[in-house]
Amino acid sequence: MPPGIASKQFETSSKRNPRLADRLEASEHKKVINGGVGRIGTNAMDSRFYSKRSPEVWLAVGKRAWSQLPLWLKSRFLDGLERIATLRDQIGAAAAVSSMPPVQVIPELWYDDDRCFDGCARSLTVNGSRVFGCTLPAQTATLQDEGLLRRVMVHEFCHCFWWLADEVNAMDSGGTTTDTSHLDQNSDSDDRRQMVDPKDWFGAEDASRMIYSGSPEAQRIQDNLTGLIGSLPERHSPPKVFSLKHVTLPNDVKTHVRKLRITGSPTAEGAG
């Protein structure tokens, strides 16, 4: 476990949201679709709970796993979906492209002995198409600090756009994509090598305030993780395997990557 993290038992009765029963009974609040999510570890993620605001923000959770969560934690996830969807729209409104990566939330805690993992970029399925987006674990998705959550989302979106830009550049040049197999996901410098320069893609405030791996503010995410230990499954590294085959490249992203090449800002080189 990361320093300062200790297991604890949860008293669900003291944390229940009195409004939750009404929310969970309201069928319009959630839309559940069976299948199409795949597997994380050994547990099938066979349902999606979509944000009311966007079908591109969802919680992937098995029906049985969802039914076993305490009400206070269900409330945290549902509130988190709406918060993420709102922030995603706000980030996109100030960005250079309108196509923002979709966001999947997984009800797991991601950490190892040295650090917690705030999210990862990966291919996802939206409306039957493969797209590149990001997955957020529980300790990030349930953050109530909107400023910090927004900074983490911009960080993960920088990874998404790096992968997409690398695909566009390889396609245009007739070459191959960048080999990242030798990079260490625990290394801040390697992490930055797989990111676009945020100034080329996002609004000025988002670009200047984006959080990096190892930033002091990340302690608040670890603190949130501490409060969730004992209530959710744990994973000691983010999902590593994904494929970019048949991933849809949004037209505005392709146009922006080519524009950056012409203006001398090769986005696939990352922020450095």
Domain presence at residue 269: no
- What's the pLDDT tens digit per position in 11-65? 222 333 334 334 343 333 333 333 223 233 333 445 899 999 999 999 999 989 9
Domain presence at residue 172: no
- Nearest Cα neighbor of 202 from 146, 161, 168, 141 is 161
DSSP H stretches of helix in 142-250:
146-173, 188-193, 204-209, 219-228
Residues near 187 by beta carbon (within 8 Å), at least 6 away in sequence = none
Q: How far apart are CA 119 and CA 160, in angstroms?
A: 11
Q: What is the pTM of this model?
A: 0.80
Tally of domains within the chain = 1
Element (H, E) at 19: none
Domain presence at residue 180: no
Domain presence at residue 136: yes
Domain presence at residue 2: no
Domain presence at residue 181: no
Domain presence at residue 108: yes
Residues shown for the chain: 272
- What's the pLDDT tens digit per position in 210-251? 998 778 888 899 999 999 999 999 988 777 656 667 789 999
Q: How far apart are CA 128 and CA 243, in angstroms?
A: 16
Q: Structural domain of residue 74, as residue ranges?
A: 12-157+213-248
With beta carbons less than 8 A apart as the criterion, state whether 103 and 120 touch. Answer: no
